[in-house]
Amino acid sequence: MEICCSGRIMHCRSVCCNHWSSEERLDGKTVIITGANTGIGKETARDLARRGARIIMACRDLERAEEARTDILEDTGNENVVIRKLDLSDIKSIRAFAEIINKEEKQVNILINNAGIMMCPFSKTADGFEMQLGVNHLGHFLLTYLLLDLIKRSAPARIVIVASVAHTWTGLHLDDINSERSYDPMKAYGQSKLANVLFARSLAKRLQGSGVSVFSLHPGVVQSDLWRHQHQCIQVAVKIFRIFTKTTVEGAQTTIYCAVEPSLESLSGGYFSDCAPARCSRTASNDDLAQKLWEVSCNILGITWQ
């Protein structure tokens, strides 16, 4: 009976997950992964370390990051895995991180904007932004801006943005982007993920001809710490229906695909799911809206980025 159940689980997952594998090597390449101490970020770091890359784990919780680094080192034998402090909810931390990277690193070939927070109670970042928008979009927007010159000098290079199918849940409320008049955790999360897809689209257009490609993606419904803010009933439901969800290893595959698959160079700006091009929402394809979000983001962060 247990064997039968196991077979059904594997079958369900094989239906949900487009299996992809590659022997592509990353020797001599440097990869930054935000939120690399847990979940799909950790599994992404493990896979790319196994491919020979220098991995920079950009993490807020240094203790958990050290535990993850030890695990990755023991598993892959790659000692070129380092930890750098990064709190995406604090502009000072983002700027300090970028300053260290620009000073110490000769190249950044792949930037993976992976860290995120999901459907948390209303709170604000250190700089007064709604937490989900601040961490998921604005923090990564600023980080990318601060590292972009180094990334360009490292071309061919890639920027991979972990978004979500949740971008289809809502629109972009530019007149109340910090959800101060009305806060719905699900809609705020959806808005932050929509911002991820729009950012990738706009950035790719600006980087045409630079040798830097940009991709956004939906990792799938993954069994990870992202569910920690959900009501206990939802957490129980996720566990009950785990046969239809992805493990963290499975959830990391589309990120890895966008980071290393050689055939994607002509698809910069695209949105991916299950290791293949996917269709994003009509709103996420709106270039005028993407431009407005770009301008609002720059204004909020106090930066000039044409």
pLDDT in tens, 195-204: 999 999 999 9
* Residue 16: other Cβ atoms inside 10 A: 15
Model pLDDT for residues 152-189, shown as the tens digit of each residue = 999 999 999 999 999 999 999 999 999 999 999 999 99
- The vertex-104 CA angle with 102 and 109, nearest 5°, equals 65
Alpha-carbon distance 269 to 210, whole Å? 13
Q: Which amino acid is at 158?
A: R
Q: Which helix (DSSP H) or strand (DSSP E) does residue 287 occupy? A: helix 287-301
Q: What is the pTM of this model?
A: 0.89
- Please state the separation of Cα 267 from the chain's center in Å: 18
When pLDDT is cut at 50, 70 and 90, the band that residue 19 belongs to is low
Which residue from 267, 166, 160 is spatially nearest to 222, judged by alpha carbons? 166
pLDDT at residue 207 is higher than 70: yes
- Is 189 among the catalytic positions? yes
Residue with tokens 């094989």: 14
Sorted by where each starts, the structural domains of the chain and their CATH numbers stand as 30-301 (3.40.50.720)
- Please state the separation of Cα 107 from the chain's center in Å: 20
Catalytic annotation, pick one of 145, 189, 257, 271: 189
CA atoms lying within 13 Å on the CB side of residue 251: 24
Alpha-carbon distance 60 to 142, whole Å? 16
